[in-house]
Amino acid sequence: MPVTPVELANTKILITGPTGQVALPVVEHFAKIADVYALARFRKAEDRALIEGLGATVLQADLADASSLDAVPEDFDYVLNFAVVKSGDFDYDLAANAEGVGNLMTRCRKAKAFLHFSSTAVYEYVGQEPRAENAPLGDNHRVMFPTYSISKIAAETVCRFVAHQQKIPTTIARLSVPYGDNGGWMYFHMLMMQQGIPIDLHPDKPNYYNPLHADDYIEKIPYLLGAATTEVTTTNFGGSQKVSIEEWCAYISELTGFEPAFQDNPKAFGSLCIDTEKMHSLIGETKVDWREGVRRQLQNLAPDLLK
Give me the percent of the chain exceeding a pLDDT of 90.
88
**Confidence class of residue 145 from pLDDT cuts 50, 70 and 90?**
low
CA-to-CA dists, residue 269 to 117, 142, 275, angstroms: 20, 9, 18
Q: Do domains 12-179+211-240+277-283 and 185-207+241-273+288-305 have the same CATH topology?
A: no
Which of 89, 108, 91 is CA-nearest to residue 99? 91
Residue 181 pLDDT more than 90? yes
Which of 218, 212, 291 is CA-nearest to residue 249? 291
pLDDT value at position 87?
Answer: 78
Read off the pLDDT of each residue in 283-307 and give the average, rounded to a whole number: 97
Residue 12 pLDDT more than 80? yes
What is the distance between the alpha carbons of residues 178 and 8, in angstroms, rounded to a whole number?
Answer: 22
pLDDT value at position 147?
Answer: 87
What is the distance between the alpha carbons of residues 213 and 183, in angstroms, rounded to a whole number?
Answer: 10
Give the single-character DSSP code of 137. B
Residues 6+ apart with CB under 8 A from 157: 98
Q: Do the beta carbons of residue 14 and residue 80 sit within 8 Å?
A: yes
**Confidence class of residue 142 from pLDDT cuts 50, 70 and 90?**
low
Give me the percent of the chain exceeding a pLDDT of 70.
98
Q: What are phi and psi of 107, to 5 degrees?
A: -65, -35
What is the distance between the alpha carbons of residues 235 and 259, in angstroms, rounded to a whole number?
Answer: 36
Q: Which CATH architecture has domain 185-207+241-273+288-305?
A: Alpha-Beta Complex (3.90)
Q: Which amino acid is at 41?
A: R
Q: Do the beta carbons of residue 273 and residue 153 sit within 8 Å?
A: no
CA 280 to chain CA centroid, Å, is 18
Mean pLDDT of the chain: 95
What is the distance between the alpha carbons of residues 77 and 172, in angstroms, rounded to a whole number?
Answer: 17
Read off the pLDDT of each residue in 63-81 and give the average, rounded to a whole number: 96
Residue 86 pLDDT more than 80? no
What is the distance between the alpha carbons of residues 145 and 298, in angstroms, rounded to a whole number?
Answer: 26
Q: Collapse the DSSP code of 174 into the 3-class scheme (helix H, G, I; strand E, B; otherwise coil) and give the result.
A: strand
Domain map of the chain by residue range? 12-179+211-240+277-283, 185-207+241-273+288-305
pLDDT digits (tens, 9 = 90+) for 161-177: 999 999 999 999 999 99
- Partnered with residue 201 across adjacent β-strands are 264
CA-to-CA dists, residue 291 to 91, 242, 247, angstroms: 40, 12, 10
Read off the pLDDT of each residue in 24-49 and give the average, rounded to a whole number: 97
CA-to-CA dists, residue 203 to 173, 200, 303, angstroms: 29, 9, 33
pLDDT value at position 157?
Answer: 97
What is the distance between the alpha carbons of residues 41 and 56, in angstroms, rounded to a whole number?
Answer: 15
Q: Which fold has domain 12-179+211-240+277-283?
A: Rossmann fold (3.40.50)
Which of 67, 129, 57 is CA-nearest to residue 103? 67
